[in-house]
Amino acid sequence: MGDHLELATLEWGKEGPRALLIHDSTSLARSWWRLGAEMARAGYRVTAPDLRGHGDSPPGDDYLLGSYATDVLALGSEWDVVVGHSLGGAIAAIAQRTDRSFAARLVLEDPVLSLPDPERR
């Protein structure tokens, strides 16, 4: 995976376990407004990026899953929980496979991916 783009992010909460929310192909970081605020009230420090070509983030030279994952990995690792919806779920899975320290837990909501049986564990 190559160079990453600097992604625009929204944040809720100031301290506590770290959570990353990755939106789907037709959304923005702002689409997580309700979950981000609720997680912050529950004690999480929440970050939601605008993926490349979405919202306030710059456009990319390509829109390959690996490129999205490279951008997201540049936001850091050791997230306590990462929630990915649809495209965001695929990105989270690729990021986790690329860097096993990316997240302690993944929540994949309707991810756009197919895993062979041994990979599902």
Instruction: Decide if 21 is inside a domain.
Output: yes
When divided into structural domains, the chain yields a total of 1
CATH number at residue 98: 3.40.50.1820
Q: Tell whether the model's pLDDT for residue 98 goes beyond 80.
A: yes
Whether the Cβ atoms of residue 27 and residue 10 lie closer than 8 Å to each other: no
pTM: 0.91
Instruction: Decide if 120 is inside a domain.
Output: no
Nearest to 75 by CA among 102, 112, 105: 102
Instruction: Decide if 2 is inside a domain.
Output: no
- Hey, how many other C-beta atoms are within 10 angstroms of the C-beta on 17? 16
Instruction: Decide if 62 is inside a domain.
Output: yes
Break the chain down into helix, strand, coil percent, rounded to 5: 30, 20, 50
Structure confidence at residue 111 (pLDDT): 86
Q: Which domain holds residue 106?
A: 9-113
Q: Tell whether the model's pLDDT for residue 121 goes beyond 70.
A: no
pLDDT tens by residue, 39-92: 999 999 999 999 999 999 999 999 999 999 999 999 999 999 999 999 999 999
Instruction: Decide if 23 is inside a domain.
Output: yes
Instruction: Decide if 118 is inside a domain.
Output: no
